[in-house]
Amino acid sequence: MGGHGVVCLLLLLQVLAAASAGGGRWQEFLRLPSDSDERSDGTRWALLIAGSSGYYNYRHQADVCHAYQIMKKGGLKDENIVVMMYDDIAHSPDNPRPGIIINHPTGADVYAGVPKDYTGNDVNPNNFLAVLLGNRSALTGSGSGKVISSGPNDHVFVYYADHGGPGVLGMPGEEEVYLYANDVVKALKKKHEGKGYKSLVMYVEACESGSIFEGLLPSDIGVYATTASNAEESSWGTYCPGDDVGAPPPEYDTCLGDLYSVAWMEDADAHHNTRTAPETLRQQYAAVRDRTSANGTYVFGSHVMQYGDLALAPQSLDLYYMDTSTTSTSADVDEYLGVRGSANQRDADLVYMWRKYRKSREGTAEKAEARERLLREMARRSRLDTTVEKITGELMIGRRQFIRRRAAGQAVVDDWDCLKSMVRAYEMHCGSLGQYGMRHMRSFADVCNAGVQHHQMAEAASQACTTLLPNW
């Protein structure tokens, strides 16, 4: 940290020296953060949300904390940034650096200063939508009450990091854990109708995140979105234990970030640090797409997608969160470059459990417990996969023709209420799908697309789960 201070000071001195040599026109490129807030083109807002909890999901909250630091560097005011995160990482007993969160193997703390607007179970779909819509009276719980009360000249940036599945994003609480794609898009349309922004950019990191917008997000409501993956593939964690390149320090048994997320954030940091010409949305998309593709191999990588109003792509990121004219950061860019190893998002928690097991001392109760936990979780997943496959398989008998590939660009499902009710019917009898089980959302969607009725799902689930899984 001390080192950073020194670098900062040196940079500032260099800038001042260069400025006076160039005839004192330093205001042109040394703009103080406070100057950049008052934009003639409106206020900049950011909504940052991590949808998971648990130390094994360290990376999502680390991503969101890092994003907050980028917003601050870019000159946004705290009153215009809303952070939603469970907040159980920094002070987790598993955290080797108490009170500190990092998002890169050699990275500095990103937790300091992060506002705790909504934490714990207050991070839920209702509050996310209320915050996005700027509707204070729809909030529940005990959050800060901050919402995105943006107006027609404002620019809004939304970033979400977590697990997902076809048509759905996860939330960390105990009760409402699914944020469905149609509700996200409905809220965006409503905000547009209410003249709640001039333009809005949304970045989504999750498995199958393309399905949140594909066939759903209109191109004429001033929203530009990119996603970590297409509608049919996993997204990837990164800086994971055991990676050949970019492994975290040995005391960390968990992945420190997600590939798409660190790609856009390290790209942003690099631009802040070098104060190069402002980047456009399109340029950042291209950089992130290339890095997330794992050099075009898509092995441990995914297809970054863009949706919505692509005419916004030439916009400068300065409109949202960049401020390439500030001098507040170190010039240490090298550490940010290159592609690192990754773990499939859904398996990243198994990596954590496996590491715990490997590291515990032979013959101790801790080792036995870690082994139990890992085996239990693997068995649970295998049972869940079998159960969903059995139930949806039976319901689809004679209806296969309905799932033959929906046309590219079509949403996962037409009737979202049907999808929600199928999931509820399943969960009532078989227990929660949870963050792992969201991968099966497409099977539930297929069942709806094929015209299966709610009571048929309820019967099938009841039968399968009372016989297969007495102690779920």
Ligand X SMILES: *[C@@H]1O[C@H](CO)[C@@H](O)[C@H](O)[C@H]1NC(C)=O
What is the contact surface with ligand X in residues (CB under 6 A)?
A: 135, 137-138, 294-295, 339
Chain position whose Cβ is nearest to ligand X? 138
Q: Whose Cβ is closer to ligand X: residue 294's or residue 422's?
A: 294
Cβ at position 135, least distance to ligand X in Å? 4
**Assigned token pair, 291:** 């890095």
Q: Sheet containing 305-308: which strands, arranged edge to edge?
A: 81-84, 44-50, 155-161, 199-205, 223-227, 305-308
Q: Sheet containing 236-238: which strands, arranged edge to edge?
A: 257-258, 236-238, 342-344
Cβ at position 138, least distance to ligand X in Å? 3
Q: Whose Cβ is closer to ligand X: residue 92's or residue 135's?
A: 135
Strands (DSSP E) found in 87-206 = 155-161, 164-165, 168-170, 178-180, 199-205
Task: Given the residues 60, 66, 163, 440, select the one marked as catalytic.
Answer: 163
**Assigned token pair, 310:** 């692509």
Q: Whose Cβ is closer to ligand X: residue 138's or residue 368's?
A: 138
Q: What distance in Å separates the CA atoms of residue 279 and residue 317, rounded to the nearest whole number? A: 6
Cβ at position 296, least distance to ligand X in Å? 9
Q: Whose Cβ is closer to ligand X: residue 34's or residue 137's?
A: 137
Task: Given the residues 207, 255, 418, 448, select the one marked as catalytic.
Answer: 207
DSSP element (H, E) containing 161: strand 155-161
Q: Of 232, 318, 308, 228, nearest to 279 (Cα)?
A: 318
Cβ at position 245, least distance to ligand X in Å? 7
Question: What is the phi/psi pair of residue 119, to 5°?
Answer: -130, 175
The residue type found at 249 is P
Q: What distance in Å separates the CA atoms of residue 196 and residue 190, rounded to the nearest whole number? A: 9
Q: Whose Cβ is closer to ligand X: residue 186's or residue 371's?
A: 186
Cβ at position 143, least distance to ligand X in Å? 15
Question: Has 163 been annotated as catalytic?
Answer: yes
Query: DSSP 3-state assignment of 231?
Result: coil
Return the active site residues: 163, 207
